[in-house]
Protein backbone atom coordinates (compact mmCIF):
# COMPACT_ATOMS: atom_id res chain seq x y z
CA UNK A 1 0.00 0.00 0.00
CA UNK A 2 2.78 2.37 0.96
CA UNK A 3 4.54 1.52 -2.31
CA UNK A 4 1.38 2.19 -4.29
CA UNK A 5 0.97 5.62 -2.72
CA UNK A 6 4.59 6.43 -3.29
CA UNK A 7 4.51 5.46 -6.95
CA UNK A 8 1.25 7.36 -7.39
CA UNK A 9 2.87 10.45 -5.94
CA UNK A 10 5.88 9.94 -8.22
CA UNK A 11 3.59 9.65 -11.25
CA UNK A 12 1.74 12.86 -10.39
CA UNK A 13 5.00 14.64 -9.75
CA UNK A 14 6.43 13.52 -13.10
CA UNK A 15 3.65 15.05 -15.23
CA UNK A 16 4.02 18.29 -13.29
CA UNK A 17 7.77 18.07 -13.81
CA UNK A 18 7.22 17.63 -17.54
CA UNK A 19 5.36 20.94 -17.75
CA UNK A 20 7.85 22.64 -15.38
CA UNK A 21 10.76 21.52 -17.52
CA UNK A 22 8.78 22.74 -20.52
CA UNK A 23 8.29 26.17 -18.97
CA UNK A 24 12.02 26.41 -18.37
CA UNK A 25 12.69 25.55 -22.03
CA UNK A 26 10.22 28.20 -23.19
CA UNK A 27 11.80 30.86 -20.97
CA UNK A 28 15.37 29.98 -21.92
CA UNK A 29 15.10 29.09 -25.60
CA UNK A 30 11.95 30.70 -26.98
CA UNK A 31 11.14 33.91 -25.08
CA UNK A 32 13.84 35.89 -26.93
CA UNK A 33 11.71 35.66 -30.10
CA UNK A 34 8.17 34.77 -28.97
CA UNK A 35 5.82 36.54 -26.54
CA UNK A 36 4.77 34.04 -23.86
CA UNK A 37 2.54 36.65 -22.19
CA UNK A 38 -0.05 39.01 -23.63
CA UNK A 39 -1.10 41.44 -24.82
CA UNK A 40 -0.43 41.34 -28.57
CA UNK A 41 1.45 44.24 -30.21
CA UNK A 42 -0.76 47.33 -30.40
CA UNK A 43 1.17 49.29 -33.05
CA UNK A 44 2.94 48.44 -36.31
CA UNK A 45 6.31 49.43 -34.84
CA UNK A 46 5.77 47.26 -31.78
CA UNK A 47 4.81 44.33 -34.02
CA UNK A 48 8.01 44.67 -36.07
CA UNK A 49 10.08 44.32 -32.86
CA UNK A 50 8.69 40.81 -32.34
CA UNK A 51 10.96 38.22 -33.89
CA UNK A 52 8.36 35.43 -34.05
CA UNK A 53 4.57 34.95 -33.79
CA UNK A 54 2.99 35.26 -30.32
CA UNK A 55 2.72 32.02 -28.36
CA UNK A 56 0.76 33.23 -25.34
CA UNK A 57 -2.44 31.54 -26.59
CA UNK A 58 -0.71 28.46 -28.07
CA UNK A 59 -3.02 26.04 -26.22
CA UNK A 60 -6.08 27.49 -27.98
CA UNK A 61 -4.37 27.61 -31.37
CA UNK A 62 -2.27 24.54 -32.16
CA UNK A 63 -3.07 20.89 -32.60
CA UNK A 64 -0.88 19.22 -29.99
CA UNK A 65 0.27 16.40 -32.27
CA UNK A 66 1.40 18.78 -35.02
CA UNK A 67 3.12 21.09 -32.56
CA UNK A 68 5.29 18.37 -31.01
CA UNK A 69 6.27 17.00 -34.43
CA UNK A 70 7.09 20.44 -35.83
CA UNK A 71 9.31 21.37 -32.89
CA UNK A 72 11.36 18.23 -33.59
CA UNK A 73 11.79 19.13 -37.23
CA UNK A 74 10.58 22.68 -37.97
CA UNK A 75 10.10 23.79 -41.57
CA UNK A 76 9.14 27.15 -43.03
CA UNK A 77 5.45 28.12 -42.86
CA UNK A 78 5.68 31.71 -44.09
CA UNK A 79 7.40 31.75 -47.50
CA UNK A 80 8.59 35.33 -46.95
CA UNK A 81 9.49 34.83 -43.27
CA UNK A 82 8.40 36.92 -40.31
CA UNK A 83 7.83 39.83 -40.97
CA UNK A 84 7.50 39.67 -44.74
CA UNK A 85 8.59 43.33 -45.22
CA UNK A 86 11.94 42.58 -43.58
CA UNK A 87 12.75 39.77 -46.05
CA UNK A 88 11.98 41.15 -49.52
CA UNK A 89 14.02 43.05 -52.10
CA UNK A 90 13.19 44.76 -55.38
CA UNK A 91 13.43 42.44 -58.45
CA UNK A 92 13.24 42.93 -62.22
CA UNK A 93 9.55 42.12 -62.63
CA UNK A 94 8.37 42.28 -59.01
CA UNK A 95 9.66 42.28 -55.43
CA UNK A 96 11.36 38.99 -54.55
CA UNK A 97 11.95 37.10 -51.31
CA UNK A 98 15.49 37.69 -50.08
CA UNK A 99 16.23 34.08 -49.16
CA UNK A 100 19.64 34.99 -47.75
CA UNK A 101 17.93 36.74 -44.82
CA UNK A 102 15.79 33.74 -43.80
CA UNK A 103 17.06 31.66 -40.86
CA UNK A 104 16.11 28.04 -40.11
CA UNK A 105 13.96 27.66 -36.95
CA UNK A 106 15.69 26.15 -33.88
CA UNK A 107 14.71 22.50 -33.29
CA UNK A 108 14.30 20.51 -30.07
CA UNK A 109 15.17 16.95 -28.99
CA UNK A 110 12.29 14.45 -28.64
CA UNK A 111 12.22 14.92 -24.86
CA UNK A 112 12.40 18.72 -24.99
CA UNK A 113 9.73 18.86 -27.74
CA UNK A 114 7.37 16.86 -25.54
CA UNK A 115 8.04 19.08 -22.53
CA UNK A 116 7.74 22.34 -24.46
CA UNK A 117 4.49 21.14 -26.10
CA UNK A 118 3.11 20.23 -22.67
CA UNK A 119 3.84 23.76 -21.40
CA UNK A 120 2.59 25.50 -24.57
CA UNK A 121 -0.75 23.67 -24.53
CA UNK A 122 -1.40 25.14 -21.07
CA UNK A 123 -1.36 28.71 -22.47
CA UNK A 124 -5.03 29.36 -23.25
CA UNK A 125 -6.77 32.33 -24.84
CA UNK A 126 -9.70 33.89 -22.96
CA UNK A 127 -13.03 32.20 -23.75
CA UNK A 128 -14.30 35.51 -25.15
CA UNK A 129 -11.86 35.12 -28.08
CA UNK A 130 -12.51 31.53 -29.07
CA UNK A 131 -15.44 29.33 -28.19
CA UNK A 132 -15.53 25.55 -28.34
CA UNK A 133 -17.83 24.44 -31.14
CA UNK A 134 -17.42 27.60 -33.25
CA UNK A 135 -16.66 25.26 -36.16
CA UNK A 136 -19.82 23.33 -36.93
CA UNK A 137 -18.25 20.52 -38.98
CA UNK A 138 -19.27 19.46 -42.48
CA UNK A 139 -17.28 19.23 -45.68
CA UNK A 140 -16.89 20.89 -49.07
CA UNK A 141 -15.28 19.91 -52.38
CA UNK A 142 -11.84 21.38 -53.04
CA UNK A 143 -13.06 23.00 -56.28
CA UNK A 144 -16.02 24.80 -54.65
CA UNK A 145 -13.89 25.68 -51.63
CA UNK A 146 -11.30 27.24 -53.90
CA UNK A 147 -14.01 29.48 -55.44
CA UNK A 148 -15.00 30.73 -51.99
CA UNK A 149 -11.36 31.25 -50.95
CA UNK A 150 -10.06 32.81 -54.16
CA UNK A 151 -12.83 34.23 -56.39
CA UNK A 152 -15.32 35.42 -53.75
CA UNK A 153 -12.95 36.55 -51.00
CA UNK A 154 -9.55 37.12 -52.59
CA UNK A 155 -7.70 35.22 -49.86
CA UNK A 156 -5.26 33.64 -52.33
CA UNK A 157 -3.61 37.02 -52.98
CA UNK A 158 -1.55 36.51 -49.80
CA UNK A 159 -1.68 32.75 -49.19
CA UNK A 160 -0.37 29.70 -51.04
CA UNK A 161 -3.10 27.05 -51.53
CA UNK A 162 -0.52 24.52 -52.74
CA UNK A 163 3.27 24.54 -52.83
CA UNK A 164 4.40 27.29 -55.23
CA UNK A 165 0.89 28.57 -56.01
CA UNK A 166 -0.60 31.71 -54.45
CA UNK A 167 0.57 34.73 -52.47
CA UNK A 168 3.75 34.79 -50.41
CA UNK A 169 3.27 37.34 -47.64
CA UNK A 170 1.00 35.21 -45.42
CA UNK A 171 1.53 31.69 -44.03
CA UNK A 172 0.85 28.72 -46.37
CA UNK A 173 -2.76 27.63 -45.89
CA UNK A 174 -2.68 24.16 -47.44
CA UNK A 175 -1.43 22.72 -44.14
CA UNK A 176 -3.04 25.20 -41.75
CA UNK A 177 -5.94 22.95 -40.67
CA UNK A 178 -3.41 20.31 -39.66
CA UNK A 179 -1.52 22.89 -37.61
CA UNK A 180 -4.36 24.84 -35.98
CA UNK A 181 -7.59 23.98 -34.18
CA UNK A 182 -10.76 24.47 -36.28
CA UNK A 183 -12.41 26.73 -33.66
CA UNK A 184 -9.33 29.00 -33.71
CA UNK A 185 -9.51 29.22 -37.52
CA UNK A 186 -13.17 30.33 -37.37
CA UNK A 187 -12.33 32.96 -34.76
CA UNK A 188 -9.18 34.26 -36.50
CA UNK A 189 -10.75 34.60 -39.96
CA UNK A 190 -13.82 36.32 -38.43
CA UNK A 191 -11.67 38.90 -36.63
CA UNK A 192 -7.88 38.76 -37.20
CA UNK A 193 -7.43 42.07 -35.33
CA UNK A 194 -8.86 40.59 -32.13
CA UNK A 195 -5.79 38.31 -32.06
CA UNK A 196 -3.19 40.54 -33.65
CA UNK A 197 -4.39 44.17 -34.11
CA UNK A 198 -1.74 45.09 -36.72
CA UNK A 199 -1.43 41.78 -38.61
CA UNK A 200 -1.12 42.49 -42.34
CA UNK A 201 -4.28 40.40 -42.84
CA UNK A 202 -7.53 42.32 -43.40
CA UNK A 203 -10.91 41.59 -41.82
CA UNK A 204 -12.83 40.80 -44.99
CA UNK A 205 -16.19 40.65 -43.19
CA UNK A 206 -16.96 37.21 -44.54
CA UNK A 207 -20.52 36.07 -43.69
CA UNK A 208 -20.65 33.48 -40.89
CA UNK A 209 -21.87 30.69 -43.20
CA UNK A 210 -18.97 31.31 -45.59
CA UNK A 211 -16.45 31.24 -42.76
CA UNK A 212 -17.62 27.69 -42.06
CA UNK A 213 -17.08 26.90 -45.77
CA UNK A 214 -13.59 28.42 -45.70
CA UNK A 215 -12.58 26.25 -42.75
CA UNK A 216 -14.11 23.17 -44.44
CA UNK A 217 -11.95 24.02 -47.45
CA UNK A 218 -8.79 24.40 -45.33
CA UNK A 219 -9.54 20.99 -43.83
CA UNK A 220 -10.00 19.44 -47.28
CA UNK A 221 -6.64 20.91 -48.36
CA UNK A 222 -4.91 19.58 -45.24
CA UNK A 223 -6.07 16.02 -46.06
CA UNK A 224 -4.01 15.98 -49.27
CA UNK A 225 -0.63 14.38 -48.84
CA UNK A 226 1.57 17.32 -49.86
CA UNK A 227 4.83 15.59 -48.99
CA UNK A 228 4.28 13.02 -51.71
CA UNK A 229 3.42 15.50 -54.46
CA UNK B 1 6.92 68.06 -2.48
CA UNK B 2 5.72 64.51 -2.51
CA UNK B 3 2.57 65.72 -4.18
CA UNK B 4 4.49 67.50 -6.88
CA UNK B 5 6.52 64.38 -7.65
CA UNK B 6 3.34 62.40 -7.84
CA UNK B 7 1.67 64.76 -10.27
CA UNK B 8 4.78 64.75 -12.46
CA UNK B 9 4.66 60.97 -12.47
CA UNK B 10 0.98 61.03 -13.40
CA UNK B 11 1.71 63.47 -16.18
CA UNK B 12 4.52 61.28 -17.55
CA UNK B 13 2.35 58.20 -17.39
CA UNK B 14 -0.53 59.95 -19.12
CA UNK B 15 1.79 61.22 -21.83
CA UNK B 16 3.11 57.71 -22.38
CA UNK B 17 -0.37 56.25 -22.45
CA UNK B 18 -1.62 58.70 -25.02
CA UNK B 19 1.46 58.25 -27.22
CA UNK B 20 0.42 54.61 -27.62
CA UNK B 21 -2.82 55.87 -29.12
CA UNK B 22 -1.01 58.16 -31.56
CA UNK B 23 -1.36 57.06 -35.11
CA UNK B 24 1.42 55.37 -37.05
CA UNK B 25 3.02 57.27 -39.95
CA UNK B 26 1.67 56.64 -43.44
CA UNK B 27 5.12 55.32 -44.47
CA UNK B 28 5.04 52.59 -41.83
CA UNK B 29 1.42 51.67 -42.50
CA UNK B 30 2.11 51.50 -46.25
CA UNK B 31 5.07 49.21 -45.57
CA UNK B 32 3.15 46.92 -43.22
CA UNK B 33 -0.11 46.62 -45.15
CA UNK B 34 0.39 47.71 -48.79
CA UNK B 35 3.91 46.63 -49.84
CA UNK B 36 2.84 42.97 -50.08
CA UNK B 37 0.78 43.78 -53.22
CA UNK B 38 1.59 47.33 -54.35
CA UNK B 39 5.34 46.80 -53.92
CA UNK B 40 8.23 48.41 -52.06
CA UNK B 41 8.32 51.14 -54.72
CA UNK B 42 4.52 51.50 -54.85
CA UNK B 43 4.58 50.53 -58.54
CA UNK B 44 2.11 47.64 -58.25
CA UNK B 45 4.85 44.98 -58.36
CA UNK B 46 4.62 43.47 -54.87
CA UNK B 47 5.93 40.10 -53.75
CA UNK B 48 2.40 38.61 -54.08
CA UNK B 49 1.53 39.57 -57.66
CA UNK B 50 2.69 36.52 -59.63
CA UNK B 51 -0.54 34.50 -59.22
CA UNK B 52 -3.00 37.41 -58.86
CA UNK B 53 -5.72 37.62 -61.54
CA UNK B 54 -6.02 41.44 -61.29
CA UNK B 55 -2.84 43.49 -60.93
CA UNK B 56 -2.59 45.97 -58.05
CA UNK B 57 -2.72 49.65 -59.06
CA UNK B 58 0.58 51.40 -59.84
CA UNK B 59 0.50 54.12 -57.16
CA UNK B 60 3.38 55.99 -58.82
CA UNK B 61 1.41 56.57 -62.03
CA UNK B 62 -0.32 59.95 -62.30
CA UNK B 63 -2.36 58.50 -65.16
CA UNK B 64 -3.68 55.53 -63.15
CA UNK B 65 -4.28 57.55 -59.97
CA UNK B 66 -5.17 61.03 -61.19
CA UNK B 67 -8.81 60.28 -62.02
CA UNK B 68 -9.76 59.49 -58.43
CA UNK B 69 -11.00 61.98 -55.84
CA UNK B 70 -9.62 61.89 -52.29
CA UNK B 71 -13.04 60.65 -51.16
CA UNK B 72 -12.81 57.67 -53.55
CA UNK B 73 -9.30 56.82 -52.35
CA UNK B 74 -10.45 57.00 -48.72
CA UNK B 75 -13.41 54.75 -49.51
CA UNK B 76 -11.40 52.08 -51.36
CA UNK B 77 -8.77 51.88 -48.59
CA UNK B 78 -11.37 51.66 -45.83
CA UNK B 79 -13.94 49.41 -47.53
CA UNK B 80 -11.95 47.59 -50.22
CA UNK B 81 -12.15 47.25 -54.01
CA UNK B 82 -15.76 46.02 -54.08
CA UNK B 83 -16.98 49.31 -52.55
CA UNK B 84 -16.01 51.18 -55.75
CA UNK B 85 -16.86 48.32 -58.16
CA UNK B 86 -13.26 47.16 -58.32
CA UNK B 87 -11.62 43.80 -57.60
CA UNK B 88 -12.14 41.88 -54.34
CA UNK B 89 -8.34 41.47 -54.37
CA UNK B 90 -8.01 45.02 -53.04
CA UNK B 91 -8.81 44.37 -49.33
CA UNK B 92 -10.76 46.59 -46.89
CA UNK B 93 -8.48 48.02 -44.18
CA UNK B 94 -11.13 49.69 -42.00
CA UNK B 95 -10.52 47.27 -39.11
CA UNK B 96 -6.75 47.75 -39.21
CA UNK B 97 -6.42 51.54 -39.61
CA UNK B 98 -8.09 54.55 -37.99
CA UNK B 99 -9.83 57.12 -40.23
CA UNK B 100 -7.00 59.52 -39.44
CA UNK B 101 -4.40 56.99 -40.60
CA UNK B 102 -6.39 56.40 -43.80
CA UNK B 103 -6.51 60.16 -44.48
CA UNK B 104 -2.71 60.23 -44.03
CA UNK B 105 -2.40 57.35 -46.51
CA UNK B 106 -4.46 59.27 -49.08
CA UNK B 107 -2.01 62.19 -48.75
CA UNK B 108 0.88 59.74 -49.04
CA UNK B 109 -0.60 58.27 -52.26
CA UNK B 110 -0.88 61.79 -53.70
CA UNK B 111 2.83 62.23 -53.07
CA UNK B 112 3.66 58.88 -54.73
CA UNK B 113 1.69 59.69 -57.91
CA UNK B 114 2.59 63.38 -57.89
CA UNK B 115 -1.06 64.03 -58.72
CA UNK B 116 -3.30 66.29 -56.67
pLDDT at A226: 84
Distance to chain B for A131, nearest Cα, Å = 22
Cα–Cα distance measured from residue A127 to residue A197, given in angstroms and rounded to the nearest whole number: 18
Cα–Cα distance measured from residue B39 to residue B95, given in angstroms and rounded to the nearest whole number: 22
Cis peptide before A83 (omega within 30 of 0): yes
Domain chopping of chain A, boundaries: 1-125, 126-229
pLDDT at B98: 97
pLDDT at B14: 46
Q: Class assignment of domain A126-229? A: mainly alpha
A interface residues, B as partner, C-beta within 8 Å: 42-45, 47-48, 80, 83-85, 88-91, 93-97, 151-154, 156-158, 165-169, 191-193, 197-200, 202-205
Q: Measure CA of the first residue to CA of the last residue in chain A; give whole Å.
A: 57
pLDDT at B100: 97
Distance to chain B for A168, nearest Cα, Å = 5
Q: Which residue ranges in chain B fall short of pLDDT 70?
A: 1-22
Sequence length of chain A is 229
pLDDT at A227: 74
Task: Record the pTM.
Answer: 0.92
Domain count, chain B: 1
pLDDT at B23: 80
Cα–Cα distance measured from residue A32 to residue A104, given in angstroms and rounded to the nearest whole number: 16
* Tens of pLDDT, residues A41-69: 999 999 999 999 999 999 999 999 999 99
Q: Is B5 part of any domain? A: no
pLDDT at B22: 62
Per-residue pLDDT band at A7 (split at 50, 70, 90) = low
B87 reaches A (C-beta below 8 A): yes
Q: Is B7 part of any domain? A: no
Distance of CA A53 to the CA centre of its chain: 8
Nearest to A153 by CA among A199, A196, A77, A207: A207
- Looking up residue B71, the CATH number of its domain turns out to be 1.10.760.10
Candidates A42, A160, A195, A202: best to mutate against B (most CBs of B within 10 A) is A202
The interface predicted TM-score of the complex, written ipTM, equals 0.91
A6 or A85: which leads in pLDDT: A85
pLDDT at B1: 43
Q: Is B95 part of any domain? A: yes
Residue A162: strand, helix, or coil: strand
Answer for the pair B23, B6: CB distance below 8 angstroms, yes or no: no
Range A1-125 has CATH code 1.10.3470: no
pLDDT at B13: 45
pLDDT at B19: 43
pLDDT at A80: 98
* Tens of pLDDT, residues A128-143: 999 999 999 999 999 9
Q: Is B8 part of any domain? A: no
Answer for the pair A149, A214: CB distance below 8 angstroms, yes or no: yes
Per CATH, A1-125 and A126-229 having the same topology is answered yes
Q: Residue B79 is part of which domain span? A: 24-113
pLDDT at A4: 57
Nearest to A91 by CA among B46, B112, B1: B46
* Tens of pLDDT, residues A187-204: 999 999 999 999 999 999
Q: Is B28 part of any domain? A: yes
For chains A and B, count residue pairs whose Cβ atoms are closer than 8 Å: 98
Amino acid sequence: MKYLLLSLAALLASSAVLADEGEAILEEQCASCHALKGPAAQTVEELWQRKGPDLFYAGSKYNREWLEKWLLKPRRLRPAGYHYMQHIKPGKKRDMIDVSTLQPHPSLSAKAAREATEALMKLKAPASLVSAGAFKGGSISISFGEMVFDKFNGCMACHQIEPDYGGLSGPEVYTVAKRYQADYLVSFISDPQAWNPKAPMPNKHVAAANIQKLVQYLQALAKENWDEK
Amino acid sequence: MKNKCFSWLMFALLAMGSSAAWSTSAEDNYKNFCWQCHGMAGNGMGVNVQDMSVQPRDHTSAKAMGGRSDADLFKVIKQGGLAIDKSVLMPPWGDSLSDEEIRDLVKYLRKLCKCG
